[in-house]
A and B are shown apart, each in its own frame.
Chain A
Amino acid sequence: MGIDKWLALGQTAAELGLVNALTVLSLFLSYSMLNVCDLSTDGCFTLGAAVGTLTAIAGYPWLSLPAAMLAGMISGFVTATLQTRMGVQSLLAGIVVNTGLYSVNLALTGNKATLPLNKTTTIFSMAKDLLKDTFLAGQSALIVMLIVVALVVIFLCFFLKTKLGLAIRATGSNTDMVRSSSINPTFTTTVGLCVSNAFTGLSGCLMAQQQKSFDINMGSGMVTVALASLLIGGVFVAKHKRIPLRAVGAVIGAILFRIVYALALRLNMPAFMLKLVSSVIVVLAISGPYLKKQLPLVLRRWKASREGGLKDA
């Protein structure tokens, strides 16, 4: 395989990685900052894709981005309302919304499981037309994604330093302290989930447009893939580092994940393995530190049991 083929492979991986990075940044906000594991991510991703696709097909490619974000925001609002005002446990709220969104998404597409976008004007086709006579012609999709991701990172860095952003971070760190600062944690959780889901929706919208098709199952497993990317990013940028670095770390994690995945595919790993691989990564990243802490205990227990212990107890 020639060098340009490898480059093309890397470029596609980077493009997809950047699209996924938006979902990863969304989880960076909800999972790392707000400390909520938002399991509505899969459905919300597909919702953004459906709304974005329909808006683009209707002839408004620009509008597709804010429309997908708004849809994501509404989904986030529902998830937040369920867990803060209606007594549904946080994890269950996400799962319930996720399940419900499957029907909502099919209702939106008129019960069509796929929608083609190859003849539709999208953000990517517009960028391609715009750059077609320049030396960047081949990189138009990458440029679009770089701009979008950069904007989202800049927004997040700014947002998390505002009083509202600080309150959202404090909600994830110590809810008591938020209340004693005269701030209602219900409000901060709601805003946090709305903003984070807006990015998930945007991510889905761009994924459909980049792939030139919408598929009802395109979001399935997204939360695990994104979590895996987030945790990979966390390996490079530790938790105590400053917010901008950590956000960039999340983006790098998303791109790396896609590159490693693309390489594994080249090495003949079947495509269906993607989700198992991401599950394993999530488990390793979360339970790795835990097991590392347990290891000395296990060794001591083993040593003690060799010196007798109490086996009949």
Chain B
Amino acid sequence: MLELKNVCKTFHPGTPDEKRALIDVSLTIGDGDFVSIIGANGAGKSTLFNAICGSFVIDSGSVYLDGKNVTMTPEHKRARRIGRLFQDPMRGSAPDMSIEENLALAAGNGGWLSRVSAADKKAFRDRLSLLGMGLEDRMRQPVGLLSGGQRQALTLLMATYHAPQVLLLDEHTAALDPGTAEKVLALTKSIVEENRITCLMITHNMQSALDLGNRTLMMDRGRVIYDVTGEERAQLTIADLTDKFRQLSGRTLDNDRMLLGVK
């Protein structure tokens, strides 16, 4: 279970650039939940993920993972339990190292002085073949040679190599071409379902925000303004969502990318 209590984060406090990115955000995400998050640019969606991951220290409030207070736990220690994918497919893997070496770090088997064993290689091969991209035959090639879609699929594999408790997807298919995006999304769904991973997904595609998962959050200017699940969510259409946004934020949702449902 992931719990945020009164989380606040302000960037550049006390300057003309002051930006209140998260304002008193409280959330409880149950085990196995798949939550889609929508909101205009600058709503605080990625900042929310940064707060959960520990990319910065939040100004106030606390973050609990499985009932344990992880507010001050450094990012790399939280990473054992929290996996994350970014929009930029380049961020999740080391370009100068081979596929095999990247996977070895994600797997993290053995002690500091251990080397990649034959058993590891076999396991990597099996996992890679699940992607259906032929990467299992390119294990010794540098990751920098892969396409964006292949790299994002590899990152997905790395982030879920040991099923994390929470998986954060930050528009992870937005930079991919439509066909590849669909493939990576399908892979994501199957991995998440198979391992019953709690998942939060930021998307600009309102349709997939409603199609995927069992709960949807709408964010605006640092707050969660709408939180919907169950029967009410099942009845929602894109038009309802834009109406809701207008009603709750007092603004129109003028983001074409969201209205058109472009990936």
**Residues on the B chain within 8 Å of A174, using CB:** 90-91, 93-95
Task: Determine whether the beta carbon of B77 is less than 8 Å from that of A182.
Answer: yes
- B: interface residue count bin: 20 to 34
Task: Determine whether the beta carbon of A176 is less than 8 Å from that of B96.
Answer: no
Residue of A nearest to B76 (CB): A179
* Closest CB in chain B relative to A300 CB, distance in Å: 28
Contacting B95 at CB < 8 Å: which of A161, A164, A166, A173? A173
Cβ contacts B81-117/A at 8 Å (1 or 0 each):
0011000001111111100011011101111111110
- Given A166-B105, A177-B93, A183-B108, 4 new contacts (CB under 8 A): A161-B115, A162-B112, A177-B105, A180-B84
Point out which of B74, B83, B84, B93 has the most chain A C-beta atoms below 10 A from its C-beta.
B93
A240 contacts partner chain B, Cβ-Cβ < 8 Å = yes
Task: Determine whether the beta carbon of A179 is less than 8 Å from that of B79.
Answer: yes
A178 contacts partner chain B, Cβ-Cβ < 8 Å = yes
- A: interface residue count bin: 20 to 34
Taken together as a complex, chains A and B put the C-alpha atoms of A299 and B76 apart, in Å, by 48
**Residues on the A chain within 8 Å of B84, using CB:** 180
Taken together as a complex, chains A and B put the C-alpha atoms of A185 and B74 apart, in Å, by 12
A258 contacts partner chain B, Cβ-Cβ < 8 Å = no
Task: Determine whether the beta carbon of B113 is less than 8 Å from that of A177.
Answer: no
**Residues on the A chain within 8 Å of B83, using CB:** 180
**Residues on the A chain within 8 Å of B159, using CB:** 180
Asked if A178 meets B112 with Cβ closer than 8 Å, knowing A169-B94, A184-B76, A240-B142, the reply is no
Taken together as a complex, chains A and B put the C-alpha atoms of A300 and B96 apart, in Å, by 32
Query: Could you tell me which B residues sit within 8 Å of A by CB distance?
Result: 74-77, 79-80, 83-84, 90-97, 101-102, 104-106, 108-116, 142, 158-159
Task: Determine whether the beta carbon of B76 is less than 8 Å from that of A182.
Answer: yes
Task: Determine whether the beta carbon of A162 is less than 8 Å from that of B76.
Answer: no
Taken together as a complex, chains A and B put the C-alpha atoms of A180 and B142 apart, in Å, by 19
Residue of A nearest to B112 (CB): A164
Contacting A177 at CB < 8 Å: which of B74, B77, B91, B116? B91
Asked if A180 meets B113 with Cβ closer than 8 Å, knowing A166-B97, A170-B97, A173-B97, the reply is no
In the complex, 19 of the A-B residue pairs with CB atoms within 8 angstroms, ordered by the A residue number, are: A162-B114, A162-B115, A163-B108, A163-B110, A163-B111, A163-B113, A163-B115, A169-B94, A169-B101, A170-B94, A170-B105, A173-B97, A174-B90, A177-B91, A178-B94, A180-B79, A181-B106, A183-B105, A183-B108
Task: Determine whether the beta carbon of B76 is less than 8 Å from that of A183.
Answer: yes
**Residues on the B chain within 8 Å of A185, using CB:** 76
